[in-house]
Structure 1
Amino acid sequence: MTQHVDHPKVPMLYSDKSRVDFELPRPPESAAEGLNRLVGFLQRQYLIILITALSILALGLVYVVTAPPRFTAQTTLIIDTRKVQLFQQQSILGDIPIDSASVESQIEILKSEKVALSVIKTLHLIEDPEFSGSRSGLFSSAFGLVCAVLGSRDTASNFELTRSAIRTFQSQLTIKRIGLSYVIEISFKSLSRDRAAEIANAVAEAYIVDQLEAKDQATRRASAWLQDRIGELRNQATLAERAVVDFKAKNNIVNTGGSGGRLVTEQQVSELNSQVVVARAQTSEAKARLDRIEAVLRADSPNSTVNSTVADALKSEVVTKLRSQYLDIANREADWARRYGTGHEAAVNLRSQMAEIQNSILNELQRLAETYKSDFEIAKQREVGVQRELENAVSQSKATNQAQVSLKELESASQTYRTLYDNFLQRYMESIQQQSFPISEARVISQAAPPTQKSDPKPALALGLSGIGGLILGLGLAILRDLSDRVFRTAEQVEAELNATCISLVPKISAGKTPRDTLNNRVGTSDRANRTITRNRGLIWTASNNPFSQFSEAVRAIKLAIDVSWDAKSSKVIGITSAIPNEGKSTLSASLAQLIAQTGAKVLLVDCDLRNSALSNRIAPAAEFGIIDGIMGRKPLSELLWRDSKTNMSFLPGAVSWDNEVHPNELLNSSEARQFFDVLRKNYDYVVVDLSPLAPIVDVRATTQLMDAYVLAIKWAHTKFDVVAQALRSAPTIQDNMLGVVLTQADAKVLQLYSGYGNVYYGERPASSVSTAR
């Protein structure tokens, strides 16, 4: 066995979100592409759209033919904002301005069961067959017959007839507001012209009567309530006023009267406060005089005694006379001293007289000081007395003020009850006067007349709506059917669902020309002696005999994808697998190998589906040895290979002989298998390996060390999204090394209806022309 050689992995063509930065952004879909997509959708689903539209249109036609004619009568009334005001006082019901919300509320009242029941009773509609449950028209009659059979009841009760009449009445009644005005239009639809007009007018009349009754009832209820409330308020006002009087008497609260309305205690406090101010002023004045004269007496200087400026001293006649004598003698002493000197006997005598006068002034000042002291003490006592009286008055005033708080509350309650009593009494008198003059804001401005033309059914409208509704329903069903188609049909679906590149879409070969049909009908397919595949032209009939066919171009696209992913000098080992069996992987493997062999490259086709060697049974049914013998070293490679005489393609059979002791996945994951594939890689340019499916068994997961890349075959319009996605999730290593996806057995004509695929650029040329071209 040869030594295992590691081979480099190649860049794959699958889409990976981690490599988004290296991919060119997809251009936005053009208008032409969108139009083509829409046309394709319509071509795919036109049958269901057409059948649905025609069915709904037929139902509309049946309705037009069988539905009885109906007539619509209209009455208009207005919610008048200019109300009649007989009295200037405000209405007892508290009228509010009419706005849009109020108009909408009146519309709902018009639609109410109360108005409907009033009209039904007034016009005796229960006795009318149109309202009593009898039905006209094909659909209504059939529905009534079915209900009668299923219900099997004898006679409906009066309550049931009334409820049925109300339902029929409300279904035929239409109330709407005209624009943003206060005008309301009442329309009623009936089988009879006269009945339609009669009911429309009756609805307006019943509404107006209902409004008047509602106001009258509300006024009566309000008057009764006001009467009871007035009695309560009268008693409450009386009790509150009595409580005010009692509280004043208990707390000695007396008002002086007059415009100010001051309390006696407040007036006393004010007067005493003024007396305190006067007493304090007198005390301060007496204290000032006393302090001044004491200051003069404390001075030992005779001049200060004589020159004292105490105001009361100047008013004293004694002091004034002595001071005058003193000044006269002082002038004489100064004159004698200037003339005869200060030691003269006359001057000395004069100075002695001056000293005696000073002593006399001092004695008089001391007597005045005692008088001032007495006056000061009297002023102080008077101030203390007035201050004590003020404090007593203030204390009494505080108590009175605290009582005033409660008094004000009592007076406020009394005044409130009295005001409420007066207001309620006034409103009660107004309500008594207004009860005899009821007014309503609504009035009829146009009464209904029997219509001249039927309103239903309208053939053009019914058929138009049926046709449009049928188309919409058909489109909805078509879209639902298209969205529920969860199988692979386009390359975009492959990229979106699997995040992988769709390499090619291989078209389905017509009956009688498929490789399967040719293989099953070949004659002399193999030569045991030479191990040569002979007369097996049908294996790749399309690729060999018509290289410009769609089939050949699709297979050629797979080869191109393989070539652009590797260096031209390196060998390539490609594994072909599928998610589930019968996806066309074996046919794809054989077609790809033979097409590559036609280019002159050395190609080996390997049947590695060890569980089901279908490819070996088709190509080399006489083979006695296969790949298992090569991996286990039982036979050399040269004794295992078969060769196609036309293309020189080599073929290695699969599990022709099997050892039950060896499991396929263990064998493929062994070092012998890696060494065997290294030998194949050295001897061939391309090794195309037909592998087993992914989902049923795990053999493919064991080949990750053997393959350079994988190609996943998916049967077009057959395999579901979740099946393939689950298979790839279970084999992440296969997905990582996947070159791309190939959709097999595609219907070219149907494929054109999806994304513009299947347009044949190369036509199917005759075999003779193909050979000539070669």
Structure 2
Amino acid sequence: MELSKFIKLLLKHKYTLIAIPVIAVIITYFLVRNQPDVYSSQAQIATGIVDQTQQVLNSENPQESKISQEFSNLIEMMRSKKMLDQVSYRLIIHDLTSDKPYRKPSPLLTQLTPDARKHALAVYNDLYKRRTSLSLFNPDQNGLNKLLESMRYDDKSLLKTLTIYRADNSDFINVQYDAEDPELSAYVVNALCKEFIDYYTLIVKENQRKAVDFLSKLLNDKQDSLAAKTAALRQYKIHNRVLNLSEQAKSLYGQLADFETRKEEAQKSVISTEAAIRKIDGQFDPKDRQYLESSLNRINTQITEVDEQLNAANREYIENNFDEQYKARVDSLNEVFTAKLHQSSDKYILNPLAAKQNLVDNKITLQTQNVLAKNSISSIDKELSRLNSKFDKLVPHEAVVGSYEKAIEIAQEEYMVLLSKYNQISMEASYSVQLKQVVTAMPGLPQSSKKMLLVIIGGIVSFVFCVVVLFIIFMLDDSVKSPKELANRTKIPVLGYLNLLNNSVIDFKKIWDTNDGSGQTQLFKNLLRSIRFEIDNEMAGDKILLVNSISPAEGKSLLAISLAYSRAVVNQKVLLIDGNFENSGITQTVHPKLYIEDYLKGKIGIEELQTANLLNVWGNRGGDISLFEIVTEAEAQVKFKALREYFDIIIIESSALTTLNRSKEWVQVSDKVVAVFEAGQDLTETLKPNINYLKTIREKFIGWVLNKVPSDAEAKKKS
């Protein structure tokens, strides 16, 4: 919907959209027709950044971001004022000294006297040699800068047609310059490339020389520092008789561990021999011998008793003629006797008296070993003390020597890093700079003319500009143009709308009595019928209709007269009252014989009401007066109630709501109210209070009638 409205707006201004681009095209044509031809020259510089054939020292592949950064730095250096000033100096020096200057001398250049030209030439040559820019704070150099600007040799003028870019992702930088002279374009490109390569080579070599000198000095300082630290360590070892501290400490630690082991073994020997001696002494205890001898006596007694029992049993066995009954007893006693003998034999083997000499010999041996072990412990302790004392003396030397060695190690690492860096910088300094011009700019052919392109662009830009302006106007336009917009934005129903008529005078009789007329008139007639139908539905038997508006001159009179005439043509008895004391438009148009003031004051009788025609118009005498100033509200209610008996409908036009009570007093005596709103207005903050008032009388207010709405045909005609 919004797009269709915007398209209608464009169609409405189609002649503007055609005329402005045509004018722009004509103006552009006359501006560019005398433009000189343009000659373009191009040169190419190889950088060696990504070209592996030129990589000698650095074989690593740099990242793409770093490569792009390096190319950006080179391009910006070429575009810098310092480089362009060098080209400017060469151009102006050429024009000052040559019989064939690249450009026609400017008025400022032609005004120079011979002395001034000589002075300018000397200053330009001096600045060129020193690679410095003109100082605008110096009046003399400021004048020389204006001379460059007049010849369009200054840096800003050169940058306008100078193009410097990297050729895709290659190793080359393209330099292009467009000028009106082919030799000038080639000279600028070659001069810029030469000045840039010379300057870049100079600063690179200078930086490399400074780096080599700095690293050489720093390398000598580090070498002296390393030699001093090494000499200090050597003197410390000589003074403290330290040959090889780590080996000495390792040897002492091994001896200490060996003697600790021997001490542990001696202590174990002392403990074990003392325990063995105590065990031997225990075997020589009299109590133990008494226990053993008493045990043997008891067994012997038992053997004797068993032997006696066995002899008695044998006698009984023999006496009883070898009776088997006694045989079992004899065998049993024999077994007991044998067991006792074996027991007696075992007791005799464990007797300590049998190995007494061996025990004595063992004890003497163990005592000798115990004494040797105790004596060895004391000697081991003395040796351990000596070794620990010697080891403790090495600890301070270890700390000092360690600090010396750490300092020497750090100094040596720094020296080696600097040496590597020094070798690399020295080798790089011995090679030439990789930048070189591989393509020399030559005077080129004239470029294809851009005049037609500029003319076309001028037309397109002007057309787009017009469309953008119309779009901005369309977006900023907050006016009401259709009944739907009015209903949506006020939240009040719209009964209909009336199209905008071109006629200055509307003949209602001709509209309703004939079928002839333009399409606008017929549309107006149909829309009025629709509004009449909607009002009839809303009236629902009520007879007094008030036609109102928010602001003056929105079409209240037109709607009131149109409704009155449309009712009269259907044989209804209509009374049209001009209640607008502020602006009596109906009274001035119709010139009625009766006035509403006369009726309210009782000057119009019943017979005049009874003899009324189908269409009756009552005017007003105007003036600074309101309805309730003529009669009271109660009297007005009675008077208008009486009119209902004589007319089918009473249509009243009142003043706009901006007249406050003068309009609202008519609302009190009306049955229904309809408001006219002129299309194309904005719903400003000043209108909202009156709209809110209409919402408060919703029982009487039946809706809007949108007036002066352009039809599609009308819009096309206006466009």
TM-score (norm 2): 0.70
Shift in Å at residue 468 of structure 1? 1.8
Query: In the alignment, does 2:571 pair up with 1:578?
Result: no
Residues 224-273 of structure 1: CA distance to partner in whole angstroms, max 9, x if unpaired?
Answer: 322332343334334443555567679x694637xxxx253343234213
Please give the alpha-carbon distance, in whole angstroms, between the structure 2 residues aligned to 1:383 and 1:701.
132
Please give the alpha-carbon distance, in whole angstroms, between the structure 1 residues aligned to 2:272 and 2:665.
128
- 1:113 aligns with 81
- 1:692 aligns with 655
Q: CA, structure 1 residues 427+712, in 2 after alignment: closer, same or farther (shift >3 Å)? A: same
- 2:467 aligns with 475
Paired residue secondary structure (2:687): helix
Residues 615-642 of structure 1: CA distance to partner in whole angstroms, max 9, x if unpaired?
Answer: 4565574445449x86xxx659986996
Identical-pair percentage: 14
Choose 596-605 or 222-231, whichever is displaced more.
596-605
Shift in Å at residue 223 of structure 1? 2.4
Amino acid at match of 1:562: I
Amino acid at match of 1:585: K
Q: CA, structure 1 residues 365+129, in 2 after alignment: closer, same or farther (shift >3 Å)? A: closer
Shift in Å at residue 59 of structure 1? 1.8
Please give the alpha-carbon distance, in whole angstroms, between the structure 1 residues aligned to 2:302 and 2:164.
136
Asked if 2 retains the 8 angstrom alpha-carbon contact of 1:68 and 1:457, the reply is no
Paired residue secondary structure (1:187): strand
Please give the alpha-carbon distance, in whole angstroms, between the structure 1 residues aligned to 2:432 and 2:531.
94
Choose 542-551 or 578-587, whichever is displaced more.
542-551
Amino acid at match of 1:556: R
* Alignment size in residue pairs: 636
- 1:210 aligns with 199
- 2:443 aligns with 450
- 2:210 aligns with 221
Shift in Å at residue 550 of structure 1? 1.9
Q: CA, structure 1 residues 219+429, in 2 after alignment: closer, same or farther (shift >3 Å)? A: closer
- 1:767 aligns with none
Please give the alpha-carbon distance, in whole angstroms, between the structure 2 residues aligned to 1:692 and 1:444.
89
Q: CA, structure 1 residues 460+279, in 2 after alignment: closer, same or farther (shift >3 Å)? A: same
Paired residue secondary structure (2:444): coil
Paired residue secondary structure (1:236): helix
Shift in Å at residue 461 of structure 1? 1.7
Please give the alpha-carbon distance, in whole angstroms, between the structure 2 residues aligned to 1:680 and 1:360.
170
Asked if 1 retains the 8 angstrom alpha-carbon contact of 2:543 and 2:644, the reply is yes
- 1:276 aligns with 260
- 1:558 aligns with 531
Shift in Å at residue 705 of structure 1? 6.9
Alignment of 1:329-728 (within 5 A): 378=375, 381=378, 403=400, 406-407=403-404, 409-427=406-424, 429-430=426-427, 434-435=429-430, 437-445=431-439, 447-452=440-445, 454-455=446-447, 457-483=449-475, 487-491=479-483, 493-494=485-486, 498=490, 502-511=494-503, 513-514=505-506, 542-543=511-512, 549-563=522-536, 566=538, 569-571=540-542, 574-599=545-570, 605=576, 607-609=578-580, 611-615=582-586, 618=589, 621-626=592-597, 648=614, 688-697=651-660, 700=663, 710-717=673-680, 720-723=681-684, 726-728=686-688
Amino acid at match of 1:273: A
Q: CA, structure 1 residues 393+44, in 2 after alignment: closer, same or farther (shift >3 Å)? A: farther
Residues 742-768 of structure 1: CA distance to partner in whole angstroms, max 9, x if unpaired?
Answer: 332344466434999xxxxxxxxxxxx
Paired residue secondary structure (1:42): helix
Please give the alpha-carbon distance, in whole angstroms, between the structure 1 residues aligned to 2:297 and 2:369.
34
Asked if 2 retains the 8 angstrom alpha-carbon contact of 1:78 and 1:444, the reply is yes
Please give the alpha-carbon distance, in whole angstroms, between the structure 2 residues aligned to 1:239 and 1:381.
49
Q: CA, structure 1 residues 234+441, in 2 after alignment: closer, same or farther (shift >3 Å)? A: same
- 1:288 aligns with 272
Please give the alpha-carbon distance, in whole angstroms, between the structure 1 residues aligned to 2:195 and 2:212.
25
Alignment of 1:59-74 (within 5 A): 59-74=27-42
Asked if 2 retains the 8 angstrom alpha-carbon contact of 1:643 and 1:649, the reply is no
Please give the alpha-carbon distance, in whole angstroms, between the structure 2 residues aligned to 1:352 and 1:107.
117
Choose 357-366 or 469-478, whichever is displaced more.
357-366
Asked if 1 retains the 8 angstrom alpha-carbon contact of 2:626 and 2:662, the reply is no
- 1:533 aligns with none
- 2:190 aligns with 201
Larger Rg: 2
- 1:528 aligns with none
Residues 182-229 of structure 1: CA distance to partner in whole angstroms, max 9, x if unpaired?
Answer: 343332222222332333333333333333223222222222322332
Asked if 1 retains the 8 angstrom alpha-carbon contact of 2:212 and 2:425, the reply is yes
Asked if 2 retains the 8 angstrom alpha-carbon contact of 1:297 and 1:365, the reply is no
Q: CA, structure 1 residues 544+253, in 2 after alignment: closer, same or farther (shift >3 Å)? A: farther
Asked if 1 retains the 8 angstrom alpha-carbon contact of 2:508 and 2:562, the reply is yes
Match among 100, 103, 117 for residue 130 of structure 1: 103
Please give the alpha-carbon distance, in whole angstroms, between the structure 1 residues aligned to 2:278 and 2:544.
139
- 2:18 aligns with 50
Shift in Å at residue 721 of structure 1? 0.7
- 1:22 aligns with none
Asked if 1 retains the 8 angstrom alpha-carbon contact of 2:548 and 2:655, the reply is yes
Amino acid at match of 2:511: T
TM-score (norm 1): 0.66
Q: CA, structure 1 residues 186+420, in 2 after alignment: closer, same or farther (shift >3 Å)? A: closer
Please give the alpha-carbon distance, in whole angstroms, between the structure 2 residues aligned to 1:620 and 1:131.
84
Please give the alpha-carbon distance, in whole angstroms, between the structure 1 residues aligned to 2:238 and 2:447.
86
Q: CA, structure 1 residues 355+105, in 2 after alignment: closer, same or farther (shift >3 Å)? A: closer
Amino acid at match of 2:436: A
Asked if 2 retains the 8 angstrom alpha-carbon contact of 1:44 and 1:753, the reply is yes
Amino acid at match of 1:220: R
Please give the alpha-carbon distance, in whole angstroms, between the structure 1 residues aligned to 2:651 and 2:406.
109
Asked if 1 retains the 8 angstrom alpha-carbon contact of 2:229 and 2:407, the reply is yes
Shift in Å at residue 404 of structure 1? 6.3
Residues 266-292 of structure 1: CA distance to partner in whole angstroms, max 9, x if unpaired?
Answer: 432342133213312331343234345
- 1:99 aligns with 67
Q: CA, structure 1 residues 644+109, in 2 after alignment: closer, same or farther (shift >3 Å)? A: farther
Please give the alpha-carbon distance, in whole angstroms, between the structure 2 residues aligned to 1:400 and 1:590.
126
Asked if 1 retains the 8 angstrom alpha-carbon contact of 2:499 and 2:710, the reply is yes
Q: CA, structure 1 residues 575+278, in 2 after alignment: closer, same or farther (shift >3 Å)? A: farther
Q: CA, structure 1 residues 392+471, in 2 after alignment: closer, same or farther (shift >3 Å)? A: same
Asked if 2 retains the 8 angstrom alpha-carbon contact of 1:504 and 1:557, the reply is yes
Asked if 2 retains the 8 angstrom alpha-carbon contact of 1:506 and 1:554, the reply is yes
Q: CA, structure 1 residues 64+502, in 2 after alignment: closer, same or farther (shift >3 Å)? A: farther
Paired residue secondary structure (1:505): strand
Amino acid at match of 1:278: R
Paired residue secondary structure (1:443): strand
Shift in Å at residue 440 of structure 1? 2.3
Asked if 2 retains the 8 angstrom alpha-carbon contact of 1:539 and 1:591, the reply is yes
Amino acid at match of 2:203: A
Amino acid at match of 1:165: Y
Amino acid at match of 2:522: S
Residues 163-199 of structure 1: CA distance to partner in whole angstroms, max 9, x if unpaired?
Answer: 5512322223223444443343332222222332333
Please give the alpha-carbon distance, in whole angstroms, between the structure 1 residues aligned to 2:403 and 2:432.
47
Residues 111-135 of structure 1: CA distance to partner in whole angstroms, max 9, x if unpaired?
Answer: 3333322233334356447386569
Shift in Å at residue 505 of structure 1? 3.2
* Alignment root-mean-square deviation, CA: 5.4
Please give the alpha-carbon distance, in whole angstroms, between the structure 2 residues aligned to 1:186 and 1:227.
39
Shift in Å at residue 419 of structure 1? 1.9
Shift in Å at residue 54 of structure 1? 1.7
Asked if 2 retains the 8 angstrom alpha-carbon contact of 1:603 and 1:686, the reply is yes
Shift in Å at residue 693 of structure 1? 1.9
Please give the alpha-carbon distance, in whole angstroms, between the structure 2 residues aligned to 1:658 and 1:85.
102
Please give the alpha-carbon distance, in whole angstroms, between the structure 2 residues aligned to 1:413 and 1:608.
111
